[in-house]
Amino acid sequence: MWRVGRAGFVAMALAVVMTLVAAPGFVRYAMADEPDRPSVAGLPAPFRDWDVRLTPRADNPRVLDLVFTSPALHRRITNRVYLPGGYRTDGPRWPVMYYLHGSDLPALDNETLRPVTRQEYLANDISAGGGAVQTDLFDFDKAADRARFLVVSPDTSPHEAICETCFWFDGRPPATPTAHPVTAVPLAADTYLHHDLYPLVEALFHARSDRGGRGVMGFSMGAMAAYQQGMMHPDQYAVVSSVSGVLDLVNDPEMIAVLDGVGYYRDQGYGTSVTDKPEWRGRNPLDLATNLAGVDTEVLSTSGDVCLRPTSVLAPECVRYPPARNPAAAWAESIMYRQYLEHANRLRQLGVHETHYLYPGVHGSYNSRMYAERLLPLADSVFDRHVADPKVFSSRSVLDHFSVWGYDVTVRRPGPEFLDMTGARGDGTEFTLRGSGVAQLSTPASFHPDQTYRVAATRAGGTVSVRQVRAGHDGRLLIRVDLGRAALLDQLTNQVKPSGTDLSTATPVTVRVTTG
């Protein structure tokens, strides 16, 4: 019999292995789980000037840290990117789900406090590195094989949070000086998302930039921010998900006490619930909900039941994190649970396509289960289908300037007040404005460049004024509408009413555009 010595056997085995590894089929099989590596080297302007760094996690190449210098925030920001199974940089572009973390209290944002804060579930989530800690609650990496989209989470440095109480909208210089860590730092968070992060992700990764390929989700403060993002930017997202968030920030005494006590709005330059009520209402999800009425956007909301239902007592989330040992997390979720009971059908009544699920557990305990069971399959299905833009829409805002569905709107008035656009056609041929001051609109680019059109503005009493307006080279009309005197007193009086009522009492003006 032919015999092979030990050394000879090892040599033969090694040769066989090397031959297999060199074979193209084996390489494809071995690397099937390896995602394509995006390169920062070829980034175009302006991104190449942002000192972009992309670092995969040592134990999982699908999880990357995206670090760059933000022009909006003037500092380095760490963001986390989760690549789905099978991610490639060729072929169809990939949808993106953006996740917004919740509060990180400035006074607790200190690593030396970890031995204390880690003893309670909520305290651990809102202390040092809270953005990263709260992102981990969803186990995005464990569900990546099922996802057909990227997940991007801004502000995930394990050492500090940039957005502590920012609500992910744009702050402004506060009336009183800030003194961190007693107060949070004002942050241009909305600008960071839409002008820095989203364009960079779409340039660096093989990612979609259309509304049908973008979603936003959030937890706690980030859940309310997800509502706000979807309602303030209805033309930017096809999926909106609020995980343990409240719908009404300004009519709930317990919620007002929290917001005023911690200083969420005050630190971002928007005063208190008493001094700046119009500004608060202008960022209140319930007051903005009609912006999503009739729009092809899926809204998914979830709340925990604080383990109060008999069926939840033995649920894994309640056994692992019992309310008695996590009183802060139980108290926080009790607000969400109460609002769930009070507003369970409110969004659907306003015409928003929303589904709401109730889970066992305290604040943050059920997040990974909810994501895997509900949000991931919903997002997959929405991103896979055609998402239609509305032909007619309504929009309301207290901002002095905003863009929505192809319209650019600027309004001049003495103070903050809702401007309502109703019956607005997507082609720019008709809309009704209700508010005060002087509004200037640039319509969608649906007109023939340099052609003259007849623009008729009709007030409620029947008075009609007509102008001839020439379309610009870009096919847009620039229309100026005088809405009359400010109605601030009426607005402040009416704002104690629930959302869905008309907060502006100024005379409406309907504008119609026809061929000149």
Does the structure show a pLDDT above 80 at 235? Answer: yes
Q: Name the nearest CA neighbour of 96 among 396, 297, 383.
A: 383
- Cβ pair 478, 440 in contact under 8 A: yes
Helix 327-342 and helix 253-262, axial crossing angle in degrees, nearest 10:
130
pLDDT tens profile 238-289: 999 999 999 999 999 999 999 999 999 999 999 999 999 999 999 999 999 9
pLDDT band at 355 (very low <50, low <70, confident <90, very high): very high
Does the structure show a pLDDT above 50 at 341? Answer: yes
String of DSSP letters for 344-369 = TTHHHHTT--EEEEEESSSTTTTHHH
Parallel, antiparallel or unpaired: strands 150-154 and 96-100: parallel
Domains plus CATH for the chain?
47-384 (3.40.50.1820), 392-515 (2.60.40)
Q: Name the nearest CA neighbour of 263 among 415, 154, 105, 121.
A: 105
Q: Name the nearest CA neighbour of 109 among 32, 163, 66, 170.
A: 163
pLDDT band at 25 (very low <50, low <70, confident <90, very high): very low
Structure-model confidence comparison of residues 115 and 55, the more confident one: 55
Structure-model confidence comparison of residues 471 and 39, the more confident one: 471
> What is the residue-averaged pLDDT of the chain?
88
Structure-model confidence comparison of residues 354 and 19, the more confident one: 354
User: Can you give the pLDDT at residue 190?
Assistant: 98
Please report, in angstroms and rounded to a whole number, the separation of the first and last CA atoms in the chain: 102
User: Can you give the pLDDT at residue 18?
Assistant: 38
pLDDT band at 495 (very low <50, low <70, confident <90, very high): very low
- What is the spatial distance between Cα 101 and Cα 168, in angstroms, rounded to a whole number? 9
